[in-house]
Every structure is written in C-alpha cells, then in structure tokens.
Structure 1
Amino acid sequence: MRKVLYNRFGDEQVLEVQEQPTPTIAKNQLLIQVKATSINPLDWKIYRGEMKLLSGSKLPKGVGIDFAGVVAQVGPGVTRFRLGDSVFGLLDVFKGGALADYVVVTEAVIAPKPAAISFDQAASLPVAGLAALQIVDQLAVIGRGHEVLINGATGGVGMFAIQLAKKRGARVTAVVGPAGVQRATQLGADVVIDYTKQDVRQLTQQFDAVIDLSDKLTFKAAKKLLKPGATFVNTLPSPQSLVLSFFHNLFSSRKRKILILKPTAAGLNTLASFAQDGLQIPVEQVYDLANVRQAYQETSQGKVKGKAVVVLG
C-alpha cells in the first residue's frame, strides 16, 4: 500500500509516498481503506520538528490525522461496525499516519459517516470539528446569550466554532481576512471584522470568551477584551504555555486555556449528527496523493481557506 512518510524533519520536501506492507489487525481493531485525509496545521508543525517535546523524535513518521473511508476488515472483538461500512475518524494527533491506503483503528476513534456528506467532507470533520466542540462546550463553556470573539474564524477550526457557538445560543464576532468576510457571514457570525481594516485589539467591547485560532492574538493583548470570569482559548500547546496557564488560572478570574485535543467516539457521533442536520463543511481544495507536497506547501502558506483534502481513491 501507499503511505506518506518522512525520515527527517524539515519542510514539505521531506514528505515521500512510499510502498509499505498493508497492516494487520488485532482482535479489537478494524482495517479501514482510506478514501480521503484532511490537512491540519498540526501536521506541518510536527514534520517541521516544532512539536518534538509532544510528538517525539523517533523516525520515520507518518503524516495525516483525520480520515474517511470504508471498513475493509473487522476483528472478532468489534461489535459496532461491519465490513463495508463507511466511517470517519482520526488517529493519534501526535503520531499521525492517516495519509495511507489503509489504517488500523479501534472503535473508539471512528463513527459512521453521515449519508448526507461526502468522504471529502467527512475527512475534514474529526480534528477541526472535535477541536471546535471541545472549545465551545468544555474550555470556554459557551451558552445562550454569551458574547464570543473568534479570531481566525474561517480556518478549519474556526468555521466549525462559529456554527457550534451559534448552536449554543451565543452571539459571535468573527475576525477574518478580506477573503473570509463572506464565508463568516454565511456560517452565521453576527458581526464580522476584517482585520486589515480594524485592529481587534482596539475594540472597546468585552466578551465572555475570546478564542484565538490564528496564533497571533496573545493572552496579554486579549485580557482587555475579556469580561471578569471570561475565558481565553488558544490551540497551540507547548510545555511553557501549559505551565504558564496553570499558574495564571490559580490567581485570576480571567482564565487562559489551551486546547489539547481529546478524541472520543461520543464527540464524533455528535459531529455526525450535526453534519446530518446541515452543518456546513466547506472543502476548499482537493489534491491527489501524488501532489502531497504541493498540498502541504499551499495550505501551510495560507493559500487555502477552510479545509483541504488529499484523496486516495
């Protein structure tokens, strides 16, 4: 089978499509024939060597976290899925390996693919969708009447965060670039700010939650935007930021929280239900496996807004 691997850390040129043996499954595992894999910023942060403390330095490594495909083999201990079922899910976020013709998973990290969405859309949902769900429901605990600011609101996580925050009854202010203004409005944002025309740091309004998905709004700058008891969330964990946020939260009513994605089957099923009911999953660009380097180069340079997908057949 084909699999994307890298044997050293670096830019997109380290990615290689290699022939590998098709993996075998154990009693409680399934073999999934992958139809599509989506691209996430965490992918390139890992293969560039920026996350070694969390992902480790052992090589070679695979790339790609979330996927959609068809059940090709079922272990005897599996009870919820059958041969031929269409599913979507994700692998360990720091190990990757989903950019391959086949992956081995357990029932805990997959869910049935909603009939209403394509494999491309389903592959785009797990990482970004679960991240948004965890931010909205667990970290920021967004509810009816809350004022929420989402900075970087039309990237992969942002486009789901807008929709989920609205589902929870919040009023959403989305901060985007010029190309994202129309998309943010379509996704349901109540107020859309083009950061090239207005500096979000100069806003006088305060919010119940400020969610930074761009890695450009620091907690120090965001504090003036937070109501007492409000929460600031960002999505790029590092050992230093985790320690700083822990000690900060001991003494301040304005909380600083960092997303560490925790995949669950329950979360995937919640997203599947939302998708079946009309959750928008815009796939902006589709690449084939032969162009995987181009795919990562263009997405990492910000040339693709929303989700990008690599198809495997």
Structure 2
Amino acid sequence: MKHSHGLFHTLFYLLTLGLFSCIDAETYNDSPRGNFEALWHTIDEQYCFLDYKAQEYGLDWDEVHERYSRDIVDNMTDKDLFNVFDRMLAELRDGHVNLYTGFDVARYWDWYEDYPKNFSDSIQRIYLGKDYHIASGLKYKVLDDNIGYIYYESFSDAVGNGNLSDMLQELAICKGLIIDVRNNSGGQLTNADRIAARFTNKKVLTGYICHKTGPGHSDFSEPYPVYLEPSGSVRWQKPVCVLTNRSSYSATNDFVNTMKQLENITIVGDRTGGGSGLPFSSELPNGWSIRFSASPMYDPQMNHLEFGIDPDVQVDMSADDMRRGKDTIIETARRILNEKAL
C-alpha cells in the first residue's frame, strides 16, 4: 500500500480519530483525583512513545503515576493541580505534549535549551540586506558568490506552487542553493511536502508511520510507507544545503528528514529538535485540553525521528565569526556549495 505525504497524513488523522473513539475508557469524575487519573490513563493508552522512551532514558510511566499521585489532594486549587500535571507531563520530554487551561499552558522546552542557539537575527539581516524578495513566507536573495539563500521562518506560513516556481526561476542563475530552516518550529506538513517536492525528479521513500491499534504501549499497526512525489512544476537540479539547529522542530523535523533522503542535498548545522509524533488532542473532565504525540514517524531505516536528526555536516556558530558579523553555518554551506560547483 503506497501513500503520498500529504494525503497520507490526513488519512492517519482520520484513523487515529477512529481508533481513540473506539478505545474503552473508564469514566473519571471532575475532581483532582479524577482529572489526574484521566490524564495519566490518556497518556498511558494513547501516547505513542512510552516504550521508546523507556528504552532511551528509562521512563517508567507506572512509577510516574505512583510518584505524582502522592501530590494529589481533594482540596487543592486548580493552579496547584496544573503544576502537578505540568511536572508529570515533562517526564515525557516531548515538545508536542501540552496541557491547555484558561490560565496557562504546560509545555516542555528542555529539548532545545541545552543546545547552542546557532542562529542570530541581527547577523541574518546582514546576509538578507534590504533588497531580498518575499514570496509568501519565503525570504530569498542571491548572495555575492552566486549562491541562492532562502529563509523560511514557519511552515505555518502558506506557500503556493506559484510562489515556489517564481522563486526558483529567479534563483535559476545560482550555482547552489541554501534553504535555512533554523528556528522554524513547524506548522503544516503540506507546506513541507510542497517545498521538498521541488528537489526530486523521482518518487522517493522518505520513511514510515504507524498508528495505535489499542491501549497497550506496544499496540501499533504495521509501518506504512510514506513517499514523496516529484512536483510537476519547476524543479531545482543543482546542489542544496539545508541549514538546521535545535529549534528546527515538528514539521521542520519532517522536512529535514525528507530532504535528507534526496540526492544532492547536504544537511548543515546542528541536530534538529525532533517532535516527530503526529499530535492528537483529548479533554479532561474539568475541560482542560491535552495534546500529545499519537502516531510515531520513522526514517526509511525505521529509526525514530522523535529526538531529532543529525546533520551531514555538524557545525556551530563560532563566537569569533559572530563578532565579525558572520554566520558560521551559512559560511560552511557556501563553502560546500562552491566546492561542489567546481
């Protein structure tokens, strides 16, 4: 069974919705204890990385229940209850896990805070200058060594086929192309697929995806292959460097994995942030909403993408370069592309 990227992800959302509506769930009352049990069991039965994270760093979700259960008392305030939930969910180490209330949002940020930033807005403005072009969410220009530079800040910014064709035609004179997705925290997978499709001339296997089939930690479907189809419009044929840092997350992580499978593409910079599980939302008895990773995604070798993707060329921005107004990662990519053009 073969699937293209965009339609396939839509199909999986529908499958996931159907599955979770069929899982038998105990009814929990709207009390601190009832909401605690509802949250813990939702993650226990529907979160997709419990076994993987037990293997990677020893997560024991039963032990988590025992430990945080001691903090639940009948007369605790909503904010005290939220703080317990926030700390418990942080045990998952997943930026796709969020708890939404009327007064706060629980989120996990440590996945990128222990890494170098590897991006500077002020230095990037030096490269873009004042004469760059804008095509929807894409900023682009030709650098002085005839390398094209594209910065895409968010996959939530819609990009149409006309935008992409106009941009690639404008950059056709260039001998190589830099696509900078640093600090891009994700957005729509359809935008990621639409851009990646401009960089292949053939159908490419980019990975696999599974969905939950039951409440057990290991209850998953067989892996379904995910393919990228080449665009029928203007396609780029020259070398490309994709720039990444730890804040390249979620749909950006998926984009980097896809580009990594294509010919003539080099990933440059730091390990991406991960966030590969397709998210799903559920509601607690008190009306708070919980979002969590529901469907794991893999590369073509069936390696998890949850904790990020290593670059082909690892490089951090150096303090010396930054003092001189230089971006070490951009300069490394320029050197690679100039060498390929010889």
> TM-score when scaled to structure 2?
0.26
Higher fraction of strand: 1
> TM-score when scaled to structure 1?
0.27
Q: Which has the larger radius of gyration?
A: 2
